[in-house]
């Protein structure tokens, strides 16, 4: 464990980790891939906004409006710096990663794709990066093809290179799988796609919270992520897009704040980033998003990644000890803080429910990645996932809980 990360002190920042569950035992939270817990710093910042500065933004000249606007736009600047965007204008607030991907699908794709155009996805995508393209396929007749996943949970880049010979217009892929934990070689995938003129969209929902992400170094055209997976609040996310692309795209939604001028028979859209932010936004959530970025920056993304790697390595070793457990995904050196598994003879939902009796929170199901589970001929998995506040002791509790499950099911 990195000496610079004091996990005992970090855990004190997360009040929910002190609570007891309905069964009267201390919570063991191993579901951070679904949503992370929130530090006091974020909770108090949002509370302080509502107590002291609550007002609508951009439209007022009174003190509260100016304070709220400064906090909202200040958070955008922090987010831009966090992922090394070239300008805060390239950060579009959305509700979440799903909305960010849909923004690209509805605005850029509907303006640029026509019948027969190829979009390349992967077999490990979250539904958020599948369904918008299915919808566009039904509407426009675009073609979809997929980079396959190998048996060890990696993308088959040789097949990807072959697909690129068909000159796709768009390649959209996850930086890190929410099921397998696989960290895909985003830089290489983007470079190869750009060589054939493709626009590159990255689902960064699982990567931005856990890795140091530099969108300029990656050269992604679009990069989508959510606050709630990175110690921030629910209901807000971001789309990073290159300025030239965003400037050329039509607005996603119409209404207040996204306009420069409105007449009875016409309108002119606002400048970036406001062009894509119609209506009163999630102001308090933006404030919390910015403070979450401050929190992660102070701790250090490299140290967070190193800590998670150590926890994940330990978890995979311990889980492999249990007879009947089958793990999915690559080895620890190729993945983030995720351990998806099945237990022979026990449905994943039963596993999760029994673990919950001991206060152990894991996820069970297809994790919004049904095609990936079909690939491995299974209906569901159990998934334990880790973050900066996770400990080896929690992994031990998980393993002990799984032995109890085995006993119960004989």
Catalytic sites, residue numbers = 368
381's enclosing H/E stretch is strand 381-385
Residues listed for the chain: 410
Contact 285, 46 (CB under 8 A): yes
Phi-psi region of 187 (alpha: psi -120 to 50; beta: other; left: phi over 0): alpha
310 contact partners, CB below 8 Å, separation of at least 6: 1, 2
* Cα–Cα distance, 204 to 320 (Å, whole number): 29
387's enclosing H/E stretch is none
Phi-psi region of 181 (alpha: psi -120 to 50; beta: other; left: phi over 0): left
Q: How far apart are the first and last CA of the chain?
A: 36
Residue 238 forms beta bridges with which residues?
A: 93, 225
Helices (H), 150-300: 157-164, 186-195, 215-218, 243-248, 283-299
* Cα–Cα distance, 226 to 153 (Å, whole number): 24
Helices (H), 228-273: 243-248
* Cα–Cα distance, 91 to 108 (Å, whole number): 16
Backbone angles phi, psi at 181, to 5 degrees: 80, 0
Question: For residue 196, with 0-12 CB atoms within 10 Å meaning exposed, 13-18 middle and 19 or more buried, which class applies?
Answer: middle
């Amino acid at each position: 464990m990195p000496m610079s990360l004091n996990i005992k002190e970090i855990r004190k920042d997360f009040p929910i980790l002190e609570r007891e569950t309905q069964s009267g035992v201390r919570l063991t939270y191993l579901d951070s891939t679904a949503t992370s817990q929130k530090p006091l710093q974020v909770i108090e910042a949002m509370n302080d906004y509502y107590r002291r500065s609550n007002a609508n933004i951009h439209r007022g000249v009174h003190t509260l409006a100016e304070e709220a606007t400064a906090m909202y736009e200040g958070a955008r600047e922090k987010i831009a710096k966090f992922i090394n965007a070239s300008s805060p204008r390239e950060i579009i607030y959305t509700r979440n990663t799903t909305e960010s991907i849909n923004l690209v699908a509805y605005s850029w794709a509907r303006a640029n794709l026509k019948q027969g155009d190829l979009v390349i996805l992967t077999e490990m995508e979250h539904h958020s990066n599948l369904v918008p393209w299915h919808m566009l396929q039904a509407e426009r007749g675009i073609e979809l093809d997929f980079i396959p996943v190998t048996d060890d949970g990696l993308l088959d880049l040789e097949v990807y290179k072959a697909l690129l010979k068909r000159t796709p217009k768009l390649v959209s892929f996850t930086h890190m799988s929410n099921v397998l934990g696989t960290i895909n070689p985003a830089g290489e995938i983007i470079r190869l796609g750009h060589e054939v003129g493709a626009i590159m969209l990255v689902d960064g929902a699982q990567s931005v919270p856990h890795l140091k992400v530099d969108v300029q170094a990656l050269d992604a055209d679009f990069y989508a992520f959510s606050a709630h997976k990175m110690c921030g609040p629910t209901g807000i996310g971001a789309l990073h897009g290159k300025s030239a692309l965003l400037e050329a795209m039509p607005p996603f939604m119409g209404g207040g704040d996204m306009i420069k001028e409105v007449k009875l028979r016409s309108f002119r859209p606002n400048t970036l980033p406001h062009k894509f932010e119609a209506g009163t936004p999630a102001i308090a959530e933006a404030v919390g998003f910015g403070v979450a970025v401050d929190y992660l920056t102070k701790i250090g993304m490299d140290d967070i990644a190193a800590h998670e790697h150590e926890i994940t390595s330990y978890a995979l070793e311990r889980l492999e000890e249990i007879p009947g457990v089958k793990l999915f995904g690559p080895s620890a050196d190729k993945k983030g803080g995720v351990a998806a598994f099945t237990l022979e003879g026990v449905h994943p939902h039963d596993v999760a429910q029994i673990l919950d009796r001991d206060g152990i929170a894991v996820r069970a199901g297809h994790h919004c990645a049904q095609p990936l589970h079909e690939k491995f001929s299974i209906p569901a998995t159990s998934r334990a996932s880790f973050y900066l506040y996770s400990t080896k002791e929690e992994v031990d509790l998980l393993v002990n809980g799984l032995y109890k499950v085995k006993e119960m099911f004989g």
